[in-house]
């Protein structure tokens, strides 16, 4: 039943400088790590904790530490976050804005036809290789203690990211031992 009065002094800090770039390639060429960036693009794919967007040519990863980045393929989004790198994947992280502007848009990138060996030969330091669509024909297998999905082409094999879309992983797991063409 007691009451009390507390006086607080608050300081509201203005938002820092936010940069925009004409293209993802321009961002890769000029952005500095931890730079706050705002970018608008079309969602090309999703994974546990994030998604990829495109400007029609290149693709950029968007990663949040929580799964509240609710988007679907074909959404046009405006996203704001810090420019970061995880292993060799340049991305926006520490997301402060994630706004869906429209839905049902066409995905404006075309798959690149290659082989498992072709993907393994890509230069991972090239920021523009990540998140693109690649089409390969390979045999589906399971590997390791966790039965990770792998694509096998002769002596070459690559693991499919375990945080990929669960529906896609399940579809591949149903094809173990079979040769499939996947994008």
Note the pLDDT tens digit of each residue in 9-37.
988 877 678 999 999 999 999 999 999 99
Task: Compute φ and ψ for 166, nearest 5 degrees.
Answer: -60, -35
Span 154-180, pLDDT tens digits? 999 999 988 888 888 999 999 999 999
| HEC per residue, 139-173 | EEEEECCCCEEEEEECCEEEECCCCCCHHHHHHHH
Q: Are 29 and 10 in contact (CB under 8 A)?
A: no
In the chain, the largest separation of any two C-alpha atoms, in whole Å, equals 77
Q: Is the dihedral of CA 65, 58, 83, 75 positive or negative?
A: negative
Please check whether residue 177 is in contact with residue 149, taking contact to mean a CB–CB distance below 8 angstroms. no
Please indicate, yes or no, whether the overall pTM of this predicted structure exceeds 0.75: yes
Rounded CA gap, 28 and 137, in Å? 30
């Amino acid at each position: 039943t007691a009451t009390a009065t507390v006086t607080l002094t608050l300081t509201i800090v203005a938002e820092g400088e936010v940069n925009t770039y004409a293209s993802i390639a321009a961002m890769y060429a000029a952005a500095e790590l931890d730079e706050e960036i705002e970018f608008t693009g079309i969602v090309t794919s999703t994974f546990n904790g994030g998604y990829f967007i495109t400007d029609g040519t290149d693709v950029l990863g968007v990663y949040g530490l929580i799964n509240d980045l609710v988007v679907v393929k074909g959404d046009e989004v405006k996203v704001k976050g810090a420019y970061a790198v995880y292993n060799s994947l340049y991305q926006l992280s520490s997301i402060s804005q994630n706004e869906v502007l429209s839905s049902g848009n066409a995905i404006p990138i075309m798959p690149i036809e290659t082989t498992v060996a072709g993907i393994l030969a890509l230069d991972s330091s090239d920021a523009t290789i990540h998140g693109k669509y690649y089409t390969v024909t390979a045999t589906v297998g399971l590997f390791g203690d966790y039965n990770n999905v792998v694509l096998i082409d002769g002596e070459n094999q690559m693991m499919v990211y375990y945080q990929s879309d669960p529906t896609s992983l399940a579809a591949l797991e149903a094809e173990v031992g079979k040769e499939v063409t996947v994008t």
